[in-house]
Amino acid sequence: MNSKASMEPQTFQSLLEILKSKTEQVKLGGGPKRIAKEHEKGKLTARERIQYLIDQDSDFLEIGAFAADGMYEEEGGCPSAGVVTGIAHVQGRMVVIVANDATVKAGAWFPMTAKKNLRAQEVAMENRLPIIYLVDSAGVFLPMQNEIFPDKEHFGRQFRNNAKMSAMGIVQVAAIMGSCVAGGAYLPIMSDEAMIVDKTGSIFLAGSYLVKAAIGETVDNETLGGATTHCEISGVTDNKYDSDQDCLDAIRNIFDKIGAEPKAGFDRKEPKEPGISGDQLLDVFPMERVKPYDMLEVIKGLVDEGEIDEYKKEYGKTLICGTARIDGWAVGIVANQRKIVKTASGEMQMGGVIYSDSADKAARFIMNCNQRKIPLVFLQDVSGFMVGSKAEHGGIIKDGAKMVNAMANSVVPKFTIILGNSYGAGNYAMCGKAYDPRLIYSWPTAQMAVMSGASAAKTLLQIKVASLKKKGQEISEEDEKELLDEISNKYKEELSPYYAASRLWVDGVIDPRETRKVISTGIEAANHAPISERFNVGVIQT
């Protein structure tokens, strides 16, 4: 099911059915036949390995489930970018897990595979979480090597991160459970501990065919780089195990004996139920993207007992700022108010638009949260900043810059949920991906772009028509309508949350009823990283 189709349904339930269907499809990886082949070799699949490894009562917060969705179709597709990543608990300790999916192109690395691996390492580094690599990969997908190999954020960056994490004292444990070849061989060996599964695991810089071609030596892969070779002769790996299960048990034993680390000290009390149920939360959020609604009603479904202490409640009303608790954790919330509000002077302000007073309020609130060590949660449904002569004369650019400056320099962890619109500079000010949220997820109702579909389509049409007329082509009304439909359909596809998730602009698309769990997991992870930087916004014009 492609991203274009995901924009068509008009009910929340149908969007959730699409989300469920796409999730189930992704979890099949390369499909039942490929899964069966792995089982025939005595191997578990990537997801089975993760399920076996993590604690029975632990949830697995997946990061990048829809990475590469709808991409690489000419190459046969690459579900979930051929690697499964996320956060879970092992022996009661929160960890990041990276597991190559050998059912997808033998676990080969596509460009999005590299991006997703780097995202997982970033999560580990930002939150100072141990990371476990379950390695089973045929290496770089050679037809696309030019998009994977040489650049800063390409394949080699992961080894740089290995070294950086080691210097930071972040525990890295690797298990070679299948192929591990060429440059990819450095990843497990740059980890603190490297284990290997006998007969199915192998590691070498060049396989037997390449060795024969390069130096004329005839040798089989097991002798070249199997478990016995590396555990008994080279010493490259530390221990070998008879099965995937034995190897995963050994990893659990390692984490059973790791000492505690300092915490950031974010405040948590006994969790309480939200003010309204998950089903009621779906009811208060309208499907019509232009329909006003009260964001406070949505917040009731996210925060404990539905309670939020608003900051400057009567000022800058198109942004809601306030402190609350989510699953017991203290949070500072910055949310776009979508209903039309009235100022003290009687002026009506459009919902979802950031005005000067709103931006000024948010900047001050973000500073307060940094001073008090309160994590920030951004709830996006934003059309952008206010435009027009009145807004410009009032200094909207200056006030918007204040908000962006405070948000960008924030040292407390930030978490972003895109509920609806995420347009233009509004995406930036409300902590879009470019501003380092620890986690960023979308609801199925989200739309992300420079501007709304209708505005963009009309603008692009004008440019296209002007270009054709310049070339001497006559454009009829029918031609214009056809062009508009073509442009609109393409733009709608790009607005889809799955389009964003496939490119890792967001970490995933979630059922709104999972929002509390995602934020709570994110704060628990962030609590492992003490804040060492001092909050400083630099120069802000007043």
CATH of segment(s) 278-446+506-528: 3.90.226.10
pLDDT of residue 158: 92
Residues of the chain with CATH 3.90.226.10: 12-256, 278-446+506-528
pLDDT of residue 492: 78
* Topology annotation, domain 12-256: 2-enoyl-CoA Hydratase; Chain A, domain 1 (3.90.226)
3-state percent breakdown (helix, strand, coil) of the chain, nearest 5: 45, 20, 35
Q: What distance in Å separates the CA atoms of residue 180 and residue 184, rounded to the nearest whole number?
A: 6
pLDDT by residue, tens only, the chain of 542 residues: 444 444 444 799 999 999 999 999 999 999 999 999 999 999 999 999 999 999 999 999 999 999 999 999 989 999 999 999 999 999 999 999 999 999 999 999 999 999 999 999 999 999 999 999 999 998 888 778 888 888 888 888 999 999 999 999 999 999 999 999 876 788 899 999 999 999 999 998 877 878 888 899 888 888 888 999 999 999 999 999 999 999 999 999 999 999 999 999 999 999 999 999 999 999 999 988 788 999 999 999 999 999 999 999 999 999 999 999 999 999 999 999 999 988 888 888 888 999 999 999 999 999 999 999 999 999 999 998 988 888 888 889 899 999 999 999 999 999 999 999 999 899 999 999 999 999 999 999 999 987 665 666 677 777 777 777 777 777 777 777 777 777 777 777 888 999 999 999 999 999 999 999 999 999 999 999 999 888 887 655 55
Task: Point out which residues pair with 194 in neighbouring strands.
Answer: 174
Task: For residue 343, give the DSSP letter.
Answer: -
DSSP-assigned letters across all residues of 509-531: E--GGGHHHHHHHHHHHHTTS--
pLDDT of residue 493: 81
pLDDT of residue 217: 87
Task: For residue 233, give the DSSP letter.
Answer: I
pLDDT of residue 453: 58
Which pair of structure tokens corresponds to residue 433? 């991906």
DSSP-assigned letters across all residues of 200-218: T-EEESS-HHHHHHHH---
Helices 46-53 and 244-255, packing angle to 10 deg: 40
Q: Which residues contact 520 (CB under 8 A, 6 or more apart)?
A: 271, 326, 327, 328, 329
Kindly compute the dihedral angle of the four CA atoms of residues 112, 117, 122, 128, in this order, to the nearest 10 degrees.
Answer: 160
pLDDT of residue 391: 85
pLDDT of residue 20: 97
